[in-house]
Amino acid sequence: MRKADVLRFARDAATAYPLRTSLSVLAMAIGVAAVVVLTALGDGARRYVVDQFSALGSNLVIVLPGRSATGGFSPANALTTTPHDLTIDDAFALTRLPLVRRVAPLTVGNSEINANGRLREVVVAGTTSTYTDIRNFKMAAGSFLPEGDWNRGAPVVVIGSKIKEEIFGGNPAVGELVRLGDRRLRVVGVLKSTGQGLGMNTDELVFVPAGVAQSLFNTHTLFRILIEARGRDEIEAVKREVTTALKARHGGEEDVTVITQDAVLATFDKLLRALTAAVAGIAAISLAVAGILVMNVMLVAVTQRTAEIGLLKALGARGATIRDAFMAEAAMLSLVGAFTGYGLGLFGAFVLRQMYPVFPAYPPDWAVIAALLTSLSTGLVFGIMPARRAARLDPVQALMKH
């Protein structure tokens, strides 16, 4: 029998029982669609987090005040209960480290902004001119904070796009005076809108020089120090340098936590990859179930078409021909199911992306390939048994079933 004829015969046999065929196709389709959509979700989450982290800056090393709980026990920890403040001077000292490219201190607090007859609560970030280089801010107007003495700082402010909208509307803001708490500050720049992101959304922030922020909030301690290493390979060395430098400045006490963005990112990446794989694995169970259903459908087909199989043998069909015809039928069910499911899955991912535009819900290639291969091979593996059963039928017995 010619290959084209085997396929046509199998197709006609499958379409002769539309309900049974469409149900097993549907089962296979659901399995593949589940893998595609769920891995799109998982991988979308991973990409989202990775993108957000990358937007925070590259080659980033971050210093937090206080020792993290993971530091373990050390005699120094046991003796002192109050850690040293993380100060602007600490941050400035770090700029002298050889492998450090840039340093930006960060103080955060709440205040009220008052201008143009409008008043609203804002989160104030106190930092230095270097911060914009680390975070790659884009300006809508004016410029970021000017360079200058880190401890003093000029009476200026850079405002987020939403703050600018609410207070100045369509009028230009640069050059205007605003009241922030009890300070009068001149607006020198407006940030471009960035939209929702991980961590801080700059649209509703105002930036002032670190010195201004510290006197505004009457504090000496920093919320963070952000450090950009000279290169990707220097991140670990910078982490060590920073730790040593701050320990020396804090009287030999290791009372800060230094984290690298890479490590955090790698952890998230690994976690979310594992999650995606696990979800794909769970969804793949439905593929196995679909495979069993295909087998069941094919066994029913063999039973139902026993007389036909006997006839085919009487007409000169070899066992292998009959086996191939039934395998082709099982493969078609799986193939059509797999591609229908792939289409459904892509559509599902598309709908997800429409609903959550920031969320890059694309199924990873490996998941798509794995899902298609799994569905095809389960269809074939589970198709073998019924097909062999058909091929082995005794023609005389088979012809008597009518």
Residue in the block written with tokens 């309900």: 19
396 lies in the site for other proteins, by CB under 8 A? yes
Contact present, 98 and 178 (Cβ < 8 Å): no
317 lies in the site for other proteins, by CB under 8 A? yes
- CB-facing half-sphere around the CA of 157: CA atoms within 13 A: 29
Q: What angle do CA 223, 45, 373 make, to 5 degrees?
A: 155
| DSSP designation for 357 | T
Cα–Cα distance, 185 to 314 (Å, whole number): 98
7 lies in the site for other proteins, by CB under 8 A? no
Q: Which of the ranges 159-167, 205-213, 236-244, 318-326 carries the binding residues for other proteins, by CB under 8 A?
A: 318-326
| DSSP designation for 82 | S
* Interface with other proteins (CB under 8 A), residue from 203, 308, 324, 329: 308
18 lies in the site for other proteins, by CB under 8 A? no
Cα–Cα distance, 138 to 190 (Å, whole number): 9
Minimum CB distance to other proteins smaller for 10 or for 335: 10
Contact present, 288 and 378 (Cβ < 8 Å): yes
312 lies in the site for other proteins, by CB under 8 A? yes
297 lies in the site for other proteins, by CB under 8 A? no
* Interface with other proteins (CB under 8 A), residue from 314, 351, 358, 373: 314
19-47 in b/e form (b: 16+ CB < 10 A) is ebbbebbbbbbbbbbbbbbbbbbbbbbbb
* Interface with other proteins (CB under 8 A), residue from 13, 113, 115, 145: 13
Residue in the block written with tokens 């530091």: 71
Minimum CB distance to other proteins smaller for 309 or for 361: 309
300 lies in the site for other proteins, by CB under 8 A? no
# of chain residues touching other proteins (CB under 8 A): 25
Token pair for 240: 């060590």
395 lies in the site for other proteins, by CB under 8 A? yes
290 lies in the site for other proteins, by CB under 8 A? no
* Interface with other proteins (CB under 8 A), residue from 200, 288, 311, 381: 311
Query: How are beta strands 118-127 and 205-209 bridged, if at all?
Result: parallel
3-class DSSP assignment, residue 397: helix
316 lies in the site for other proteins, by CB under 8 A? yes
139 lies in the site for other proteins, by CB under 8 A? no
319 lies in the site for other proteins, by CB under 8 A? yes
Minimum CB distance to other proteins smaller for 270 or for 392: 392
Q: Which residues bind other proteins (CB under 8 A)?
A: 1-2, 5, 9, 12-13, 16, 307-308, 310-321, 395-396, 399, 402
